[in-house]
Structure 1
Amino acid sequence: MQQAATLPLETGAAPDPRPGLRRGGGSGATGDAIFAIACRAAGVLVLVLLGAIILELFWGGLQAFRAFGAGFVTGTDWDPVQEVFGAGVSIYGTVVTAVLALLMAVPLAFGVAFYLTELAPPWLRGPVGTAVELLAAVPSIIFGMWGFFLIVPFMSQYVQPFAIDTLGELPLIGALFAGPPFGTGILTAALILAIMVLPFIAATMRDVFNTVPPVYKESAYGLGCTQWEVVRNVVLPYTRISVVGGIMLGLGRALGETMAVTFVIGNANRISTSLFGPGNTIASLIALEFGESQMGSLKLSALLGLGFILFVISFIVLAASRFLLRPRLKG
């Protein structure tokens, strides 16, 4: 009996640790092949959709590009009656409002993420984190209506008059805070955008801050570092790529936002040196003018050309962020 029990070990026949996989080897290989094909198809589909959007916007705007050349990008005139179209004003408004929104949103988002991960008591982290995520789910048109009925009157009655009387009298920067206090304008649109992109950036920062191994932070605390030193020297270097990704996500939302900006920016086709002056963005101009354009008209081509320019701006921003991160990734 003992000899029969040890026979499989003496002959080298070991039991298969994966009997199910051995019996179903053929079906498993087929499933893997189908899964690989589906994944490749999904990746290719994304590239095809992206290419189709680019080609459609470029082809649709080709008539305007041919009619105005480089002047379409730099021109500041938008006159549908005379069929003279320029994207300069809307490009300026898009870039300025997005940059101002990030300047206001990123520090606040960092503060929210730092509070939730390092300072808030455990019983409060859940409710505050949920509130941040719910803020991201609010539709943009609600932000626009809220901004028009609440933020615009507040800006016109309190913020803008105070800034005009104080900062408007200063040299160099005084021109940024000049003009009548209508409430609408570039700064108001940037403020609404900052509130809209804040939850995206804050939620991303909070999630990546939580991925830092506790032993890293505990080691820094053991060396006598303060909470700010731990975040600056340990958390941020460990998560900088994801933090930049979250900021780029917010920037993409700010560049392409439509209805909320349309409510509060003033929708005037001129460039003002004052942050209180009205203006427009590419997305708001398309939203306002698209319904009045006719198929095959030069105006419709100009609007599609604006869409293509907005796509190019977004691509440039993304490429710049990847370029700035490349040396650190290699290091």
Structure 2
Amino acid sequence: MAVTTPAEASPRKPVSRWFAPTDKFFHGLTFAAAVTVLLLLGGVIVALIEGAIPALAKFGFGFVSTQAWNPVKENFGALAPISGTLITSFIAMLIGVPISIGIAIFLTEICPLWLRRPIGTAIELLAGIPSIIYGIWGLFVFAPFMQRHVQPALINAFSGVPVLENLFAGPPYGIGILTASLILAIMILPFITAVTRDVFETVPPVLKEAAYGLGCTTWEVARSVMLPYTRVGVVGGIMLGLGRALGETMAVTFVIGNAHKIQASILGPGTTISATIANEFTEAVGDIYTSSLVALGLILFFITFVVLAAARIMLLRTNVKGA
């Protein structure tokens, strides 16, 4: 016959009830944190719109369709900074993404164990270098190298080739769109590589072993197994790098040339939205000048939002097709 102790006979509240107030507090705290982020984002948008209204009201659509930039006459157009931002980011991604994914595949599938940690540490150190250091290095080391060796070779190689002749034309300044794009490619490489390597390591070994067992090569395993399995993480890393490229300021300011002019050649000087703001905000005199710079910031915010939204939609469609 079982004997009931006084402790067992006395009614007790479930353990979960004791933690109910703490759990509610935790839910409230996390909800407040999420709402705070939305409020901060909304405050930034409102401030940008409010500051950009004078310039947008004066210039209208012409602000984004013209490249005139004359602070003396208070005539401003954002086409040159917008095109410079998009072109440099596109070239940087075109160069940086394949290299980053290749490095991640090498580290996870090919690299010897004794070499993985040194290479991984070197990549992480690249991510920690301040952008102004990249800019100084680009101006005093990389730009002279481009001027003496790379740009003359490109000009001679594509001389007489339709389209490409204009794309790689002009005197070798050293600084310019191409130099800024290469610096950006170097800067985004560690971010994309680190994220891609981490998501590649989450692929179940049994999937890769099965593919190797069927006779697949390392390239086929990476293309048909690793990339499809980790597509969401890889795209997330690419978007992280693209966000860095779109908003990078100091490194680009040092090497792009800061010329408010659209040129057919990517060897010529140009400018970006962030470089224009950094160069001229402290010298802005007058409401229209300041408002034009704030409007540039609003445009950069809009471009970043559109790019991230498009990436999100692409991921949703990819997941639906995969399901």
Tell me, in whole angstroms, the C-alpha distance in 2 between the residues paired with 1:69 and 1:185. 30
Displacement of 1:24 after TM fit?
A: 7.7
- Match for 1:95 among 86, 91, 104? 86
Aligned to 2:57: 66
Q: Which runs of 5+ in 1 are unaligned?
A: none
Give the aligned residue type for 1:114.
I
Give the aligned residue type for 2:218.
Q
Give the aligned residue type for 1:104.
I
Displacement of 1:131 after TM fit?
A: 0.9
Displacement of 1:22 after TM fit?
A: 4.0
Question: Per the alignment, in what secondary structure is the counterpart of residue 170 of structure 1?
Answer: coil
Q: Is 1:130 aligned to 2:121, yes or no?
A: yes
Displacement of 1:215 after TM fit?
A: 0.8
Displacement of 1:172 after TM fit?
A: 1.9
Aligned to 1:25: 17
TM-score after normalising by structure 2: 0.95
Tell me, in whole angstroms, the C-alpha distance in 2 between the residues paired with 1:63 and 1:259. 27
User: Could you list the per-position Cα deviations for residues 253-312 of structure 1 after superposition, in whole angstroms to 9, with x for gaps in the alignment?
Assistant: 000000100000011110000010110000000000000114x61100000000000000
Tell me, in whole angstroms, the C-alpha distance in 2 between the residues paired with 1:270 and 1:226. 48
The verdict on how the C-alpha distance between 1:326 and 1:25 changes in structure 2, with shifts beyond 3 A counting, is closer
- Match for 1:241 among 219, 232, 235? 232
Tell me, in whole angstroms, the C-alpha distance in 2 between the residues paired with 1:191 and 1:71. 31
Q: Which runs of 4+ in 1 moved over 2 A?
A: 21-26
Tell me, in whole angstroms, the C-alpha distance in 2 between the residues paired with 1:121 and 1:25. 53
Would the aligned equivalents of 1:168 and 1:176 in 2 still touch at CA under 8 Å? no
Give the aligned residue type for 1:88.
L
Displacement of 1:107 after TM fit?
A: 0.9
The structure with the largest alpha-carbon Rg is 1
Q: Is 1:110 aligned to 2:101, yes or no?
A: yes
Aligned to 1:314: 304
The alignment-based identity, stated in percent, is 55
Aligned to 1:302: 292
Give the aligned residue type for 1:203.
A
Aligned to 1:227: 218
Give the aligned residue type for 1:134.
L
Displacement of 1:30 after TM fit?
A: 1.0
User: Could you list the per-position Cα deviations for residues 18-75 of structure 1 after superposition, in whole angstroms to 9, with x for gaps in the alignment?
Assistant: x9x946833x111101100010011001111111111111110100000000000111
Tell me, in whole angstroms, the C-alpha distance in 2 between the residues paired with 1:165 and 1:110. 31
Give the aligned residue type for 2:49.
F
Tell me, in whole angstroms, the C-alpha distance in 2 between the residues paired with 1:91 and 1:168. 28
Aligned to 2:316: 326
Displacement of 1:7 after TM fit?
A: 4.7
Give the aligned residue type for 1:312.
F
Tell me, in whole angstroms, the C-alpha distance in 2 between the residues paired with 1:157 and 1:303. 35
Q: Which runs of 5+ in 2 are unaligned?
A: none
- The 5 A counterparts of 1:2-81 are 3=1, 6-7=2-3, 22=14, 25-26=17-18, 28-81=19-72
Aligned to 1:86: 77
Tell me, in whole angstroms, the C-alpha distance in 2 between the residues paired with 1:236 and 1:279. 36
Tell me, in whole angstroms, the C-alpha distance in 2 between the residues paired with 1:260 and 1:168. 30
Displacement of 1:151 after TM fit?
A: 0.7
119-128 or 232-241, larger mean C-alpha shift: 119-128
Tell me, in whole angstroms, the C-alpha distance in 2 between the residues paired with 1:267 and 1:79. 14
Question: Per the alignment, in what secondary structure is the counterpart of residue 218 of structure 1?
Answer: helix
User: Could you list the per-position Cα deviations for residues 93-120 of structure 1 after superposition, in whole angstroms to 9, with x for gaps in the alignment?
Assistant: 0000000000010111011101110011
Size of the aligned set, in residue pairs, is 319
Tell me, in whole angstroms, the C-alpha distance in 2 between the residues paired with 1:309 and 1:328. 28
Q: Is 1:265 aligned to 2:256, yes or no?
A: yes
